[in-house]
Structure 1
């Protein structure tokens, strides 16, 4: 039983370190990457929900690596680890409403900072996609947790 307790504590430390690494990579990508430098100085915004998403879907031309990393899937993938890792670290976030609220708030903060520092556009669709990615990550956590604990 004691070994099990040590393993759980070690896993939690590993997950905490993974989350810290994730936040550092995310901060780099969102504020300091080469792409951010290329859009520096741009002041633009979209406050109409689904405008960018529908434009993207209208121009969809099949799956590719670029598709996985650009606006549509890239925004979801960027926040997927948040939904997967945070509920492991913070038990209060083990419900979809809390995770949705945290992800949306964090995404809103990112969009505001990017707009304020002119590192890209403020886009409500980015917040929708980021939040969706975190919720999908949370749902993945939920399924994994139920399998791990044997709960239905």
Structure 2
């Protein structure tokens, strides 16, 4: 007994692709244009951090002076924001086991965003963001693999009945 037909899988993949592209647009909006994150006007010069863990340490060290929202957003926001990317990329590229592709795609998407910030002079080109975004993508991919494993077990049990 096949639980999901080929047509349903194609339709689901198409839906995920649409969500994926919408997600990318939303990420670019928040990173480059959102007034909530001070993106309404660009800096006069580009801001760059090439020292790994510099901003992470700074936010952790001065967390008692900053708002909880600022600390959580800067330390965990990138991970949270990029988890969907890692979850959806294996579906979009149609590869069930695509660990390295998912991690590298997340890294390169993050690099594209950070480079866009540098060119547009909004936000900061930050290697800490590259790291946190990539970790977020990795977590998303792990979530995807867990969901696939659960589905496979469920599908095998249903087929055995």
| Displacement of 1:38 | 4.7
d(CA) in 1 for partners of 2:139 and 2:58? 23
d(CA) in 2 for partners of 1:29 and 1:135? 21
Residue 33 of structure 1 corresponds to which residue in structure 2? 34
Is 1:47 aligned to residue 50 of structure 2?
yes
Residue 157 of structure 2 corresponds to which residue in structure 1? none
TM-score normalised by length of structure 1: 0.85
Cα 1:117–1:141 change in 2 (3 A) is: same
Is the 2:106–2:134 contact (alpha carbons within 8 Å) kept by the matching residues of 1? yes
Is the 2:32–2:123 contact (alpha carbons within 8 Å) kept by the matching residues of 1? no
Is the 2:63–2:71 contact (alpha carbons within 8 Å) kept by the matching residues of 1? no
Residue 16 of structure 1 corresponds to which residue in structure 2? 17
The SS at the match of 1:36 is coil
The superposition leaves residues 33-66 of structure 1 with CA deviations (integer Å, 9 ceiling, x where unpaired) of: 11212554352211011111122222335x9555
d(CA) in 1 for partners of 2:4 and 2:135? 37
Is the 2:90–2:97 contact (alpha carbons within 8 Å) kept by the matching residues of 1? yes
Residue 145 of structure 1 corresponds to which residue in structure 2? 148
Q: Provide runs of 4+ in structure 1 moved above 6 Å.
A: none
Is the 1:42–1:120 contact (alpha carbons within 8 Å) kept by the matching residues of 2? no
Root-mean-square deviation (CA, aligned residues, Å) is: 2.5
d(CA) in 2 for partners of 1:106 and 1:29? 14
Is the 1:42–1:119 contact (alpha carbons within 8 Å) kept by the matching residues of 2? no
d(CA) in 2 for partners of 1:14 and 1:2? 19
d(CA) in 2 for partners of 1:93 and 1:126? 27
Cα 1:142–1:54 change in 2 (3 A) is: same
The SS at the match of 1:137 is helix
TM-score normalised by length of structure 2: 0.81
d(CA) in 2 for partners of 1:57 and 1:120? 19
Is the 1:82–1:134 contact (alpha carbons within 8 Å) kept by the matching residues of 2? yes
Is 1:79 aligned to residue 48 of structure 2?
no
| The one of 94, 119, 123 aligned to 2:122 | 119
> Max radius of gyration: which structure?
2
Is the 1:111–1:122 contact (alpha carbons within 8 Å) kept by the matching residues of 2? yes
